[in-house]
Structure 1
């Protein structure tokens, strides 16, 4: 079982909303909307994706990483390293 299983439906809803935002961006470009209005929507979409990523990361830490650290050993070290790398990617993006 993965860490987000309990919130899977919520995550799917959030992703569908984000998908709708992206489709809205495409329509805005198609309809020749004002650049600043499009950029505002890009910012909102980026924030929504970032929020989703943080939520998923929190669940990963609370479930997958915590479980591995209880077991200890190489698996725990690998999970912590994996989480650290994921955090670094999110910070850079």
Structure 2
């Protein structure tokens, strides 16, 4: 976490939190599954397929959170006159695109 964000908090509704937690719990289970596949010497192509699936799931989760962030946190900060949030958002989007 960067220094600029230590004091920042979010206030997403319980529905979004539950959706994010469910997705992250599934991803966590997938990662544990891959670990087991490696231990059991499962064929590399099968493991790579699972890794690709996790990447896709993480990307979908990130996109969901980014959308919520833009619709709540960003709008709120802009309403408060904190235009520097746009620069922060651009940095975040660039990181996500790597």
TM-score normalised by length of structure 1: 0.88
1:2 pairs with 2:13: no
The residue that corresponds to 1:30 in the other structure is 39
1:52 pairs with 2:61: yes
- Which stretches in structure 2 are left out of the alignment for 5+ residues? 1-8
Paired residues in the alignment total 89
Deviations 1:26-68 (A, max 9, x none): 0110110010000000000011011101110111100011112
TM-score normalised by length of structure 2: 0.84
Q: Which runs of 4+ in 1 moved over 2 A?
A: 3-6
The residue that corresponds to 1:66 in the other structure is 75
- Secondary structure of 1:23's counterpart equals helix
In 2 relative to 1, CA 3–88 (structure 1 residues): closer, same or farther, beyond 3 Å?
farther
- Which stretches in structure 1 are left out of the alignment for 5+ residues? none
Q: Distance in 2 between matches of 1:3 and 1:52?
A: 17
